[in-house]
Structure 1
Amino acid sequence: MNTILFELGTEELPPKSLKTLQNALYDHVKTALGEQNIAFDDIKAFSAPRRLALLIKGVGDYQPDRTETKKGPNIKAGFDADGNLSRAGQGFLQGLNANGLNLTKDDLITISDKKGEYIAYKLTIKGEKITNLMPRLIQKALDDLPIAKRMRSGASKDEFVRPVQWVVLMADDTVIPARIQGHDTGKQSRGHRYHAPDFFVIDHAEHYESLLAERFVVADFAKRQADIVAQVQKLSDEIGATAIVPDELLDEVTALVDYPVALRAGFEERFLAVPQEALISTMQADQKYFCLTDDNGKLKPNFIFISNIDSLDKSAVILGNEKVVRPRLSDAEFFFLQDQKRPLADFAETLKTRVFQDKLGTIWEKGERIAKLSAFISENLRPHGWDVPTDDVVRAGVLAKADLATTLVGEFPELQGIAGTYYAHKSGEKADVANAISEQYLPKFSGDELPKTPIGIALALSDRLDTLVGIFGINEAPTGSKDPFSLRRASIGVLRILIENKLPLNLASLVGEAIKNYGNKINNMSETFNAVMEFVSSRYRAMYTEQGVNVDTIQAVQAINPHMPLDFDERIRAVQAFRALPQAQVLAENNKRVANILAKADNVGENVDESLLTETAEKALYQAILSAKETVKPLQDNADYQGVLTALTALASPLTDFFDNVMVNADDENLKNNRLALLGQVRTLFLSVADIGVLQG
């Protein structure tokens, strides 16, 4: 059994792509090994700034032999009346022998399938030598890597994400001769660019990781990352701080270094007067630093950075990083101070000349619409316990987008909303108004926190609904994967806010009001309304399937199309609970049968004539319906949908007996219509919650 080592040495690879490239190479090669029926014990991927590598253990010398059945003409066409090969049969045999075989008629076999019997031959194909297969397999994997833009180096026609410098391909201690990415394979690699820059010989594939470790390269991405996390934890613990370590930043830093050395540095405390989000943003995005906070989440005047060298004078490295970060923090400070020379309301005025969308007017106009819709939302929630002054809601709407005109947001776009909240506080706005400005952008992504304050909730809903209505109103709805205004995310945000904050608001009412606020900017109001409602409602499926809800449960509720998202959610929970009941399957099947019968009927009456009930089973069903109506009425009034469905399980047995013993389509027209009305009442009872006939069991 052999251990195969492949290493591609390059110039520094794109740090944001390194982990993806490593995982893709691993997946492609592992899949290819399986497709080629090559057994192995283990496969491990490595990646560092200047290399991608794979170590495959327990590989044999050859592929296993395999058999392949070559199918010829059918028996009647392949042989003549005397049992000799016909011209067609001889042609099949000659074709086989053309591949170097020396076969006769006696070597052929008969196979059969649904269409008949055929002459055939079972060809044994010898397994290819693994060392011959690996170069092709690896080159194919490299060609299939997810690289957006490939480059050529010098006169070479071979393309890769960065120039290739060397290629290692070995089986144990022997080079597998090949040419990959325009380079002859060998057994020489390089260590750390500064600590061990020279080529060295890999004496055995098994020693790859340890030989690199001796040369200041931690080749295992996961080990290198764990080392960084441990070093950052140690340095932050020393000063009683908590490090901010986003996953994406951690992956990028891990991809930037061969040999991580964590160091702690600091900056002047005066910069802490700047919104900490701006400081964190510039330190993370521009410098790849890990910021530190205290127990209250407040930024400390310290940061941790990861060096790629083990310097003899670490203080000089620390001073260098402090010197580099200071101008960036000074820029943020300058923008912050400049903006404060004017009240936030002044910036809102400048939005009158800034376009939101060519056909939809300015950002100022959008702010006015947000203010109107927010006030509408607030008024509708007043009977449900919201006691927020309408003037405050309107003020927050007018100021909602003001910070888009500030220099701080111009430099740090990710601070929109956050900057507005800081400036609103400093401009003397009410705390509730100021805090709502940053909350309007929540949730920012799937699973993100929601706005918590009433005004923040109103702004967040209004902003998203205004954009949805406007973009649909000018026929710029998302197509395929293109969604430049993030309308899918906005729709899920609207649903989450309404459901998780338990807001009893009608979506149709909100969409209608948002359309009205656009005035004559939207001509096709009814079409826009229908399109937006359909689009937002279609997001339920994505949202609930992510929570593990069955698709047919969602369809069962969508069938009755409730317009209140909170109500929709309560029905979903009820149907999910109903599915676990023992009567659920039979009731689902019978409801489907009821729906099919009623769909074919011309006219179904609402009332049942008790005097026309002749069969015992239909009488029993009628009594069960009367009892169920009485039981579920208070439950329906309180929107206790789970209670309704639980109570309706009492219909399971009577309904089954009815179908077993009663002919619905009786010859007597009056009997038939009465029985249809009876089933109509069953249908109505269940549709008060959902169409459980959709459930698949």
Structure 2
Amino acid sequence: MSDTANANLLIEIGTEELPPKALKKLSEAFTSGVVAGLKEASLEAEEVISYAAPRRLAVLLKNIPVKQEDQSVERKGPAKKAAFDADGNPTKAVEGFARSCGVTAFDLEEIETPKGIWLVFRQDVAGKATSELVPEIVNKTLAKLPIPKRMRWGSSDIEFVRPVHWIVMMLGSDVIDGEVLGIQSGKQTFGHRFHHPEAITINSAESYAQQLHDEGHVIASFEDRRAEVRKQAEESAQKLGGVAHIEDGLLDEVTALIELPIAVSGSFGEEFLEVPQECLITSMQDHQKYFPVVDSNGTLMPYFITTSNIKSSNPAAVSQGNERVIRPRFADAKFFWDQDLKVKLESRRDATKKIVFQQKLGTLYEKTDRVSKLAGYIAGEIGADQQLAMRAAELSKCDLLSNMVQEFAELQGIMGSYYAKHDGEDAGVAAAMQEQYQPGFAGDVIPAGEVGKVLSLADRTDTLMGIFAIDMKPTGSKDPFSLRRAALGLLRIIIEGDLNLDLKSMLTEAAKGLSDKVDATPAIDDTFAFIMERLKAYYQDQGISADTVNAVASLSPSHPLDFDQRVKAVAEFAKMPESESLAAANKRISNILKKVETEIPAEVDQSLLNEPQEKALFDAISAQQMIVQPLFANGDYSEALSSLAVLREDVDNFFDNIMVMDDNEALKNNRLALLSQLRNLFLDVADLSRL
């Protein structure tokens, strides 16, 4: 190694094909582990580049110091007065400390502090070479990778996610001598399994990716390879007159399966387009890892794009092979579709009596019966069609018994919507079959239809209330019934759907429906609190602080839509220049009133207002009461708080000049009544003392 202070560091772990769905996560964990280990050793790179391909995890750290800086180590020991006895002999405490430092008690130095004299150990430590530290850092990182199940190979006891065949560790152009997972490091990597299975000698850490590409036919960068897969798929689809339908999850998986992407298009018989396109798309994506091709309207065309890992001399043969593979899959899908249409969706409902939803909560049939009644109640509360909502609930789980959903579980709801349309059900009911599962993930849309909103709310409310009633609420990271997601989805539908619903009343109604299974009433408050707790994360994503949410939550509004209006009003109020002073005043008032043990008068006696500052505050409060009470009644919280902001000057003057806890009992109580009125004005929106 030359005498330069910095060099590029390359680490590569060469393996058998890594699990494609785990590759990205493994790469991120490997890179962050190596970076963290080096940082702990006071070695930081100017730039970090990750590489991840089916047979390798690698990281390049640019311009990293080739050696640690020398360090001065200081360890603080016991106080001098506790270190030696009356005869000047070392105590056990100081002897133990000195022994841990490799010296005697008399070798320790003294330092003076404001708390007295202490003994310290000081030592100059020479920095280690980076090459000495890297092997241990790599081994520790690999041991901590998120691998659910490790495997062994050969006769060794070494374990990893897949068998390891080579290790590259280089600093600049020099090999770092070391052993990782039982393999001695070197500078030889291997290229594409088929196009260049021979060893490639890496010239330097910097040349790694380029050599793999030029000599080994491997694009080592996951992101570069991903971009190439997308580019080729889009270009191939364009040549077919369509657009490649590319979902991020499948794109990641395909990228993790290949080292050198080669797009190959294919086609299938147009007769299969009679089958709902979701079925064909799911089959292509999940089973074959193909990218479907759609037109400008998103309608499926009879084409697909595959990504091959081999440059074939006969691409047409590859295409024909892919078409032969997809045909029986589509034939099955068409058979399932044709068979399902022979039976009405409604006729499958009796079969749900044999499917257990949860042992203590009964069958799926019983659940949909409860959800139907609850949907009728919710629909009545918002003025929706009760009969349609109840009908949608009765049919909501029937498609689970269809051939198509049993083959493609992810199509539940989607197929129910198709079958309901085929059976001539109301359009709102048919749409609700799919919308009942919305929102299904972060960022997903809420149901568009009124019936869909009601059904989704009823289903989630019944599940939450039932699971809490049997004391199976989530603990820690365990949430087998996805109740956190259900709760957040429920809140989103109410708030974003602009539905004036009382959550407590909904839970009470759900508890009534469960009465033949369990006494759910005692769990209503806990369920309510659990659901409303999700709002902290919901508003955090919108940039609204937890303090703002807590200020509203302390009043326990049971209407989520009203809660939302209050939170947004308080968030806007917090941006006003008057907010800080008024929040502080509310906190001060809250603290004063907490300490009062006697009953505070409900009304202010104007005859006892002696000082101009208290008279001014009383007049200002009285004026604001007339202004804001109708605003509160209409839920115009932002306008009300903006109006209350004018109280700032009178409130500040009051506290600057008035002694609240006067010796005169009558004056004191009257001033407490005045402050109580002021506080109650703000409590019609939120507890600003929490800001």
Partner secondary structure for residue 169 of structure 1: strand
2:171 aligns with: 171
Given the superposition, is the C-alpha separation of residues 529 and 42 from structure 1 closer, same or farther in structure 2, using an over 3 Å criterion? closer
1:552 aligns with: 547
2:582 aligns with: 587
Partners of 2:85 and 2:686 lie apart in 1 by: 69
Contact (CA 8 Å) 2:35, 2:44: kept in 1 or not? no
Partners of 1:86 and 1:539 lie apart in 2 by: 63
Structure 1 residue 79 displacement after superposition: 9.2
Partner secondary structure for residue 49 of structure 2: strand
Contact (CA 8 Å) 1:72, 1:89: kept in 2 or not? no
Contact (CA 8 Å) 2:414, 2:434: kept in 1 or not? yes
Partners of 1:232 and 1:98 lie apart in 2 by: 63
1:43-80, CA deviations, whole angstroms, 9 ceiling, x for partnerless residues? 32211111112223334442211111255665568899
More off after superposition, 650-659 vs 682-691: 650-659
Partner secondary structure for residue 112 of structure 2: strand
Partners of 1:392 and 1:315 lie apart in 2 by: 53
Given the superposition, is the C-alpha separation of residues 162 and 663 from structure 1 closer, same or farther in structure 2, using an over 3 Å criterion? same
2:299 aligns with: 298
Partner secondary structure for residue 68 of structure 1: strand
Q: Which amino acid aligns with 1:379?
A: G
More off after superposition, 596-605 vs 394-403: 596-605
Partners of 1:118 and 1:625 lie apart in 2 by: 61
After superposition, residues 52-131 of structure 1 pair within 5 angstroms as 52-71=57-76, 88=90, 109-131=109-131
Partners of 1:62 and 1:208 lie apart in 2 by: 22
Partners of 2:668 and 2:185 lie apart in 1 by: 85
Q: Which amino acid aligns with 1:275?
A: P
1:407 aligns with: 403
After superposition, residues 287-366 of structure 1 pair within 5 angstroms as 287-366=288-367
After superposition, residues 265-304 of structure 1 pair within 5 angstroms as 265-304=266-305
Contact (CA 8 Å) 1:244, 1:293: kept in 2 or not? yes
Partners of 2:75 and 2:523 lie apart in 1 by: 61
After superposition, residues 78-227 of structure 1 pair within 5 angstroms as 88=90, 109-213=109-213, 214-227=215-228
2:18 aligns with: 13
> Aligned to 1:658, which of 637, 654, 660?
654
1:503 aligns with: 499
More off after superposition, 437-446 vs 267-276: 267-276
Structure 1 residue 176 displacement after superposition: 2.2
Given the superposition, is the C-alpha separation of residues 61 and 391 from structure 1 closer, same or farther in structure 2, using an over 3 Å criterion? closer
1:476-533, CA deviations, whole angstroms, 9 ceiling, x for partnerless residues? 21122111111111111111111111111111221111212223222242x1221221
Partners of 2:93 and 2:358 lie apart in 1 by: 71
Structure 2 unaligned spans of 5+: 1-5
Structure 1 residue 447 displacement after superposition: 1.5
Partners of 2:467 and 2:119 lie apart in 1 by: 65
> Aligned to 1:531, which of 526, 543, 559?
526
Contact (CA 8 Å) 1:666, 1:672: kept in 2 or not? yes
Structure 1 residue 398 displacement after superposition: 1.1
Contact (CA 8 Å) 2:85, 2:91: kept in 1 or not? no
Partner secondary structure for residue 519 of structure 1: coil
Structure 1 residue 346 displacement after superposition: 0.4
- Count of aligned pairs: 684
1:613 counterpart = 2:614: no
1:658-689, CA deviations, whole angstroms, 9 ceiling, x for partnerless residues? 22222222333322222222112111111111
Contact (CA 8 Å) 2:98, 2:105: kept in 1 or not? no
RMSD: 2.5
Structure 1 residue 623 displacement after superposition: 0.8
> Aligned to 2:561, which of 563, 566, 576?
566
Structure 1 residue 158 displacement after superposition: 1.1
2:458 aligns with: 462
Structure 1 residue 100 displacement after superposition: 9.4
Contact (CA 8 Å) 2:465, 2:520: kept in 1 or not? no
Contact (CA 8 Å) 1:77, 1:86: kept in 2 or not? no
Structure 1 residue 138 displacement after superposition: 1.4
1:97-139, CA deviations, whole angstroms, 9 ceiling, x for partnerless residues? 99999xx999975323344224545311111122222111211
Partner secondary structure for residue 45 of structure 1: strand
Partners of 1:243 and 1:353 lie apart in 2 by: 42
Structure 1 residue 633 displacement after superposition: 2.5
Given the superposition, is the C-alpha separation of residues 193 and 658 from structure 1 closer, same or farther in structure 2, using an over 3 Å criterion? same
Structure 1 residue 209 displacement after superposition: 1.5
Structure 1 residue 600 displacement after superposition: 2.4
Given the superposition, is the C-alpha separation of residues 29 and 344 from structure 1 closer, same or farther in structure 2, using an over 3 Å criterion? same
Partners of 2:92 and 2:502 lie apart in 1 by: 78
Given the superposition, is the C-alpha separation of residues 180 and 463 from structure 1 closer, same or farther in structure 2, using an over 3 Å criterion? same
More off after superposition, 288-297 vs 654-663: 654-663
Identity of aligned residues (%): 45
1:646 counterpart = 2:647: no
Contact (CA 8 Å) 1:25, 1:142: kept in 2 or not? yes
Partners of 1:93 and 1:483 lie apart in 2 by: 52
Partner secondary structure for residue 521 of structure 1: coil
1:422 aligns with: 418
Given the superposition, is the C-alpha separation of residues 86 and 451 from structure 1 closer, same or farther in structure 2, using an over 3 Å criterion? same
Given the superposition, is the C-alpha separation of residues 291 and 99 from structure 1 closer, same or farther in structure 2, using an over 3 Å criterion? same
More off after superposition, 141-150 vs 388-397: 388-397
Structure 1 residue 20 displacement after superposition: 1.3
Partners of 2:64 and 2:642 lie apart in 1 by: 60
2:30 aligns with: 25
> Aligned to 1:599, which of 594, 600, 610?
594
Structure 1 residue 599 displacement after superposition: 2.2
Partner secondary structure for residue 28 of structure 1: helix
Contact (CA 8 Å) 1:46, 1:54: kept in 2 or not? yes
Taking structure 2 as the reference length, what is the TM-score of the superposition? 0.94
1:436 aligns with: 432
1:514 aligns with: 510
Partners of 1:98 and 1:423 lie apart in 2 by: 76
Contact (CA 8 Å) 1:73, 1:88: kept in 2 or not? no
More off after superposition, 112-121 vs 496-505: 112-121
> Aligned to 1:43, which of 31, 39, 48?
48
1:371 counterpart = 2:364: no
1:689 counterpart = 2:690: no
Structure 1 residue 206 displacement after superposition: 2.6
Contact (CA 8 Å) 2:263, 2:308: kept in 1 or not? yes
Partner secondary structure for residue 347 of structure 1: helix
2:3 aligns with: none
1:408-433, CA deviations, whole angstroms, 9 ceiling, x for partnerless residues? 11111111111101001111212221
Given the superposition, is the C-alpha separation of residues 616 and 355 from structure 1 closer, same or farther in structure 2, using an over 3 Å criterion? same
Partners of 2:311 and 2:342 lie apart in 1 by: 46
1:475 aligns with: 471
Contact (CA 8 Å) 1:439, 1:457: kept in 2 or not? yes
Taking structure 1 as the reference length, what is the TM-score of the superposition? 0.93
Partners of 2:529 and 2:174 lie apart in 1 by: 64
Q: Which amino acid aligns with 2:511?
A: I
Structure 1 residue 91 displacement after superposition: 12
More off after superposition, 618-627 vs 111-120: 111-120
Given the superposition, is the C-alpha separation of residues 294 and 100 from structure 1 closer, same or farther in structure 2, using an over 3 Å criterion? same
1:385 aligns with: none
Structure 1 residue 372 displacement after superposition: 1.5
